[in-house]
Chains A and B, each alone.
Chain A
Amino acid sequence: MVLNDTVSTNLRKGVLEYCVLATIGDGEMYGLDIANGLQSRGLLTSEGTLYPLLARLRRNGLVETSWRESSQGAPRRYYTLTESGQQSLAAFAEVWETFSASVTDTLNSTTGGTP
């Protein structure tokens, strides 16, 4: 169990920011909805860790924020991908497709064989 947790944590570490970018996609998303989406897929164990990550993505120019009126009263902050964020996500998706296929292929292959 501890090993599983460690493996999951290490894998998440490498892909979480791209999963955030993919969750936002082409639309505008509210922080809570991003957190809920990631958590429901098991990609985020502590929702609060999303906010340092979103702040970093914004500083790095991958997402931008905008304010929109809400029916509840206070304006809400929404996240959208910048052009740079979309390019970064597209590049990751390309790498991930090859990478995940390679990992799956390796895991399914007979150990000790020649590739």
Chain B
Amino acid sequence: MNHDIEAPEVRNYLAAIEARLAQLPTEQSEEIMFGVREHIAEATERGGQSTSEILAGLGSPDDIAAGVAAPDVQAPGPVQQLPPYQFQQIPQAAPAPRHQTSTLWVVATTILLPFGILLAGVGWLFGVAGLWMGTRWKVWEKVMGTVLLPGGIVGAQILSRLITLPPRAPTSENPIVVGPFFPGLPLGWTIAVTCIPIAVALYLLVVGLRRGTKQP
């Protein structure tokens, strides 16, 4: 799906539309660009049409730009004084696609989820808000990021305390190695439960960044 969106032919086509929508407010042009990108990706996914056929079906960038003023009406000329778009022209460097959820958003969210609780106790809540407001994650991933484990690494430690037996006195045969940050909790448990929220956050980071090229 992502493959054809990144093809030079498509990038060139999208860049040509973006150039013709440059005079619009950013939010408006992004909404149109996202619709066109999603159309190409989905039509490619469904198959049956080549990339060139999909782009031809969408119409020229000038047609789309003309649709901003009057839908489906062929304007006498392009909205901006740009050379007419030629299908299959030599690919040029295209500007990076713009997204609703930025890469910074993804990174900040996936840091706040495991570690945000350390920021006055409320950073985790901002992480959860960022997760649910973000558009790069599926619902089940948002649920996973929220419930595994609430409160991030601190929540994980509290949970592990609840499910482990009360600390017992170490013996020479069975010594208990205690973690440095959570006295009374065995070091093995500390590492294990700390890794879970970090692993979840890493997963959300990776899928969030990978989907950055597919949708805003």
Contact = CB atoms under 8 A, between A and B. Distances in A.
B215 A9 contact: no
A22 interface: no
Majority secondary structure of chain A interface residues (helix, strand, loop or mixed): helix
A46 B31 contact: no
Interface string B1-36: 100000000000000010000000000100110111
Majority secondary structure of chain B interface residues (helix, strand, loop or mixed): helix
B38 A12 contact: no
A101 to B, nearest CB: 25
A52 B58 contact: no
A74 interface: yes
Interface residues of B, number: 39
Contacts of B136: 74
Contacts of A45: 59, 72
Residue in A39, A75, A76 whose Cβ sees the most chain B Cβ within 10 Å: A75
Interface stretch (A29-37, A83-91, A103-111): A29-37
A17 to B, nearest CB: 7
B177 to A, nearest CB: 43
Contact of A16 (B31, B64, B72): B72
Interface in B201-216: 211, 214-215
Interface of A: 9, 12-13, 16-17, 30-32, 35, 39, 43-56, 58-59, 67, 69, 72-77
21 contacts: A9-B73, A12-B72, A13-B72, A31-B35, A31-B39, A31-B42, A47-B58, A47-B59, A48-B63, A49-B63, A51-B31, A51-B32, A51-B35, A51-B67, A52-B64, A53-B72, A59-B28, A74-B1, A74-B214, A75-B138, A77-B38
A-B residue pairs, 8 tightest by C-beta: A46-B59, A49-B67, A51-B35, A48-B58, A53-B71, A48-B64, A52-B67, A46-B63
